[in-house]
Structure 1
Amino acid sequence: MRWLVLLTEFDIHYVTKKSIRESIVVDHLASLPVSDGRVIDDDFPDEDVVVVTSLSSWRIYFDGAANHSGYGIGVLLISPHGDHISRSVCLAFSDRHPTTNNIVEYEACILRLETALQLGIKQMEVFGDSHMVLRQIQGEWKTRDVKLRSYHAYLELLVGRFDDLRYTNVPRAQNQFVDALATLASIIDILENIVVRPLLIESRFVLAHCYLIGEAEFDDGLPWYHDIYKFLRLGAYPEAATAKDKRALRQLATRFMIYGETL
């Protein structure tokens, strides 16, 4: 509020900030040196700052795919906590309307903005490998193709609903996840009224059989980890262990350690 009151006496015209080279800032600061004896009047000391807001760290990636099987688009939304929210859409209208690679890219770009707005996100960093779409969104390039003008007009409406958007063009090699989502949607024929739940992707670093713990034929009163503890402490195997059992125990024991007397 103090800023607003003090700035009302000036006739300030706000324009969109263009990107500048770092050397321009350096040259400007070098031309206005501040001597050590100069007193700087800070009208807004730090103790008067109530809250500092910053850009949300939401990130979103988008891409489109076109091949002999069809057209698909993919969107990957990454939350500030690192959660991945993915969407994959098959463009089924391609049989009735002429579709180009640029149209697919616009569809993908629009889908990611709609997805973010549905989640209530108003500040976001946008990543994509479609240089043309990103340039046209930022107004640096004109949309000359008649088929793309309607897309561009709708895109501008969506962009206006955000508080802040940052665009970054990334190489296709760094956009592989959404490229895979788009390709998946383009090659799979999904029947109408069929719902495909979100895809769960995990990383597994241990062989599946290493999780196997055989059921004991009788209850000897020992905990399930007794053999692991004994192997790590003494290097001993169970009496009736076969060569396969010993190998499995060695692999399973690599996931544990003994600290003091605790496994």
Structure 2
Amino acid sequence: MSLILRVTKRRPEQEVSGLDPRMPRSFEEIKRHLMNPPVLSEAKPGEPLSLYIAAGPKAVSSALVREEGGMQSPIYYVSQVLKDTETRYPNLEKFALALVHFSRKLRQYFQGREIRVVTDQQLRKIIHKPGASGRLVNWAIELGQFNINFVPQTAIKAQALAEFVMECTFPEPQPLASHEIAQKEANPGTDCWKLYIDGTSTAERSGAGLILIIPEGFTIQEAITFIFKATNNQAEYEAFISGLKLAKSLGISKMIIYIDSQIVVKQTSGEYIVKDPTLAQYQAMVRNILEATPDITILQINREENSKADELSKLVQNTSDLASSVYFEELKAPSTERAEVLYIGSSDNWTTPYIAYLRDGTLPEDQYKARYLKHKAARFFLEDGKWTVEVTNRTILRGLEKRLEESKKTWPDELPKVLQSYGTTPKTGTNETPFKLAYGTEARIPVETGSPSHRFINFDEISNIEGLKTKLELLDEVRDKAVKRMESYKEKTKLYFAKKAKTREYKAGDLVLQHTEASDPTNQGKLQPNWESPYMVKEGLRPETYKLSYLGGTEVPNTWPGARLRKLYQ
């Protein structure tokens, strides 16, 4: 200041040539501003104060001012860094949150006076909304103790100070998570896949959650439910093995697996000794898979850092809880139990009693052996595809007959076309094509060559291979759904025809007439009677099937359907 004064005294205005006449006035204004710097003023008791609020992506701020003679003087300004969850609040809720924060910090200024909140936001509407719930209700109750009025903003004024404080408020740099530090040290590169897995076990259910992140950022989510009972450590191992199998099926060469189970990580690394026999079997399976895919890094993370996979593992009780982008799978038996397929020969062996029970319901006479056999037989089932083969062959023959017409000798040339048509046509019962049920994806049909489809035009070999591998992994789920749809279709068909059928029930001792066509198909004619004279119902074997006898008591050979009988009334 003294330097400026000396300069102005040494060089008067009249001695300085070429100066703008407005410059001395500017110097005077600068001197007055420097001699009276803006400082925080003091609020008088009971005096109304104005509050300006600013909200940004990471912080909120406010400026509390008093007005005197048309001038605004700042009393206090404060800022607050938002938490991670608060940064995702809607913008209007951030303003409401800021008002709550500053009413707590500046409580001494809010009490005993009117606070005028100057804003261009609809704060009054959101705080006093009748249908508000949750945190908005709590905020409204907390602010209700103060005399707060909302005033529309007509000029910037102290709003500039509030926004300046908000822009100068920076959140402190957050420390890296444990898995981020390990990943940074491992330096995986941009081609590394990431897999988050978690298993959970409760008294009601057990399951696992998998989240696979490919290098391009695309995420695959899978939820697995266990039909069997499992401990928490077994559930963690099941999730681990499922993740390793998924990586192996997709042909992943480099991957980092994040697990929150310390036991699984330490036992896999060799730091812990596996004493439990069941966990030892799981650990042996893990080592066998890791030997085939050596470039896999296993890291332990905190449970909070694995929250998404943990949520998936807890949503497996009902598939309706899952989003449409989440794949769902049921694991019916532990991974340590391998399902074996046995091919049955014609000679008698240890499987003969099981085959007799599964096929005909035959049990040993000894009650203990019968109970033991029924218990063990629950682990096996018979596969019989004879009926399916016959239906398929009949469909192919009908297709050939339609294409051949007159020339029957050219069927070898037409057979490939019929087979392709059969394999690429969705079936009513399964709503899927046989080709997809066999290979996991739809075949390219000839019409796509002449009129290219969207998938043909946008074909990419690398993404196509990855997609095919993913579909093969999910093929069992598609087949299970097809089986369920087939069973539902059969049941609907059965109910449809059952409505048209007229059931007849007869009791032992009833007199009935028998249709001539059923009793003697060779003795038919226009003048022959349609019904033969009476028989007596001996017993009913099952619904609509009866044993008959002559009136003298002699049993009639064979069984007779109820549809071919008519009751005789005397």
TM-score (normalizing by structure 1) = 0.49
Higher strand share: 2
Rg (Cα) greater in structure: 2
Normalization by structure 2: what TM-score?
0.23
Larger RCO (CA under 8 A, 6+ residues apart): 1
